[in-house]
Amino acid sequence: MNAAAPHVVVIGYGPVAARLVDELVPAVRRGEMALTVIGEEAAAAYNRVLVADLGVGRTTEEAISVSDPAELEAAGVTVLRGARVLRVDRARQRVTLADGPWLGYTSLVFATGARPVVPPLHGLNPDPAAHSPLPRGVIALRGLDDAAVLRGAVARRERVVVLGGGILGLEAALAARDEGALVTVVHHGPHTLGRSIDAGAGHTVAAALRARGITVVSDARAVGVEMGAGADGVPAFSALALDGGPAVEGALLVLSCGVRPRTELAEGAGLATGRGILVDHSLQAHHDPAIFAIGDCAEVRCLDSSCADCAAGTGPLGLIGPGWRQAEWLAAFLTAGAAAAHPLPAERAPVMMLKARGVDVAAAGDVAAGPFDDVPGLAVSVWADPEHGKYVKMGTRSGVLAGFISVGMPRTGAELTLLFERGAELPADRSALLRLDGPDAAPASPDPSRNVCRCAGVSGETISAAVAQGCSTVPEISAATRAGTGCGGCHGDLKALIEAHFAPA
């Protein structure tokens, strides 16, 4: 290692940090950079998106791992696991670890992610700085430990109560139900996925949930956690108390009430924060060019008050895709420098896709307006078929999707996703997009020519003439006309022509 090489320190070892580190490894191997990554969890980075699958036993810890500390260390990266950063001293460019030692840095990257929101329920401590764990039988389904608790409940086919009707809550509920647990979803508002879909889609999704045997309690306000004696006599969650309704009983409460960026370390270092750590379009913290933030903890909001991208910003997106793009971009920035890096493009509004087997929901953008609402410049079309669990809404401006919802129409949802992400114009006949899942979507025959035998190029007339002249078997037709001598796919048609000829009139 070149002693003068810059030292990059990454706080956090989640999937976004892991991507950044992977991209920086070549520079470390070349001796151009020293790199230290500091993670609080004992486990190496894993794909948090799949924690619910892990929690219902559909996948393994090994399969969701996205980083190998041993491999990184062999490449020259220092990987500190189970280590907590106590504070950042920006003046001296040092981070101090909880157990005492400090590290100097040239560049410091916050990839501290987010932590689940603990709602203010009686019996729970909502303080994000709280060190006391959640009570027994209550999890937030964020980490590997949470997944293990859920797996136990699913294996015992217990009643699982999911608090929150957002995408992560529904995914956990559907997966747990599919794998055998009894599930109740408790949520605010009239329907689930409240922020992403409209009432029509909400009805359609609710029907799909009911059809799977999931109990849904809508318009509910949870007020407290009731504890009872667990299986081994230790107090554990027994019911979720609601305001103005009966308590919902269960053996496990899964909190799915959103996440909050982890900014306290940055705040303690005097960095500007809003919903997340504030960074500019180079992911650089305000007024400190040595500090960066990426992923769930970062909020891109530059100092230019006229910047349209930032004015429209809604804080950290909480999605892995944009985080990975930031990690890739920052790696290029840190290795090649500002001059070489193209500006980081602003993220489009994300597409929400429910990860659930047999319940296809995709939505994006603004979907509140209906077809007859008078919103200037917005054209909205809707297809609703509740009996068959299908619902599609497309809102366009100048023909380009401003928002969409697709429920129960997998191919339509997939194509609308592509069209939304490309900013492509929709066909004038919107109904064409509704037929992609139908049996008539594929052309009757890709070959419009009338050849019965494509391979040898033989028409039906030629074959019928051969039959009329005495050919009565497929080999005889083949010998006379070459029909049926290629792929053999037309042999059935040849037999049919023979039978038609010899059939009594």
Partner 1 sequence: MGTATHCPYCALQCAMTVTPAAATGVAGPAADPPAIAGRDFPTNRGGLCRKGWTSATLLGHPGRITNPLLRGADGVHRPIGWDEALDLIAAQVRATREDHGPDAVGVFGGGGLTNEKAYQLGKFARLALGTSRIDYNGRFCMSSAAAAGNRAFGLDRGLPFPVEDLDGAHTVLLLGSNVAETMPPFVQHLAGARAAGGLIVVDPRRTTTADFTADGAGLHLQPAPATDLPLLLGLCHIVIHEGLANTDFIHGRTTGFKAVARSVASWWPERVQAVTGVPVHLLRETARLLAHGARHGGSYILTGRGVEQHVDGTDTATATINLALLLGLPGSANSGYGTLTGQGNGQGGREHGQKADQLPGYRKITDPAARAHVAAVWGVDPADIPGPGLPAVELLAELGRSVHTFFIHGANVAVSAPNAGEVLAGLRRLDFLVVCDFFMTETAQEADLVLPVLQWAEEEGTVTNLEGRVLRRRAAVTPPEGARSELWIMAELARRLDAPSTFSADPETVFTELRAASAGGLADYSGIDYALLDVGAALHWPCPAGSTGTPRLFRDAFAHPGGLAVLVPVSPAASNARDTLFTGPTLALVTGRLLEHYQSGAQTRRVPELAGAVPRAELLIHPLAAASRGIDDGGPVTIANGRGTVRCTARVSTAVRPDTLFLPFHFAREECANLLTSDSVDPVSGMPEFKASSVTVTAGTGIPAGAGAAHLVSL
Q: In 156-275, where does DSSP find H-type helix?
A: 167-178, 199-211, 264-268
Residue 106 or 282 with smaller CB distance to partner 1: 282
Residue 130 or 424 with smaller CB distance to partner 1: 424
* Beta carbon of residue 261, minimum distance to partner 1 (angstroms, whole number): 21
Using DSSP bridges, classify how beta strands 298-300 and 288-293 pair: parallel, antiparallel or unpaired: unpaired
Residue 237 or 329 with smaller CB distance to partner 1: 329
Q: How far apart are CA 151 and CA 157, in angstroms?
A: 10
* Beta carbon of residue 97, minimum distance to partner 1 (angstroms, whole number): 27
Please name the residues in contact with 91: beta carbons below 8 A apart, sequence gap of 6 or more: none
* Beta carbon of residue 181, minimum distance to partner 1 (angstroms, whole number): 19
Q: How far apart are CA 125 and CA 132, in angstroms?
A: 8
* Beta carbon of residue 59, minimum distance to partner 1 (angstroms, whole number): 4
From residue 82, give the alpha-carbon distance in Å to each of 18, 39, 382: 15, 6, 51
Contact residues for partner 1, defined by CB under 8 A: 15, 46-47, 49-50, 53, 58-59, 62-68, 71, 320-321, 324-325, 328-329, 332, 351, 353-355, 357-358, 360, 362, 410-411, 413-415, 417-418, 421-422, 424-425, 427-429, 432, 441-443, 445-449, 454-457, 482, 485-489
Terminal Cα-to-Cα distance of the chain (whole angstroms)? 92
Residue 332 or 384 with smaller CB distance to partner 1: 332
Residue 75 or 375 with smaller CB distance to partner 1: 75
Other C-beta atoms closer than 10 Å to the C-beta of 492 total: 11
Residue 93 or 326 with smaller CB distance to partner 1: 326
* Beta carbon of residue 154, minimum distance to partner 1 (angstroms, whole number): 16
* Beta carbon of residue 98, minimum distance to partner 1 (angstroms, whole number): 28
From residue 298, give the alpha-carbon distance in Å to each of 221, 269, 320, 465, 486: 31, 15, 12, 76, 61
Q: How far apart are CA 74 and CA 117, in angstroms?
A: 37
* Beta carbon of residue 394, minimum distance to partner 1 (angstroms, whole number): 14
Q: How far apart are CA 8 and CA 18, in angstroms?
A: 14
Residue 136 or 435 with smaller CB distance to partner 1: 435
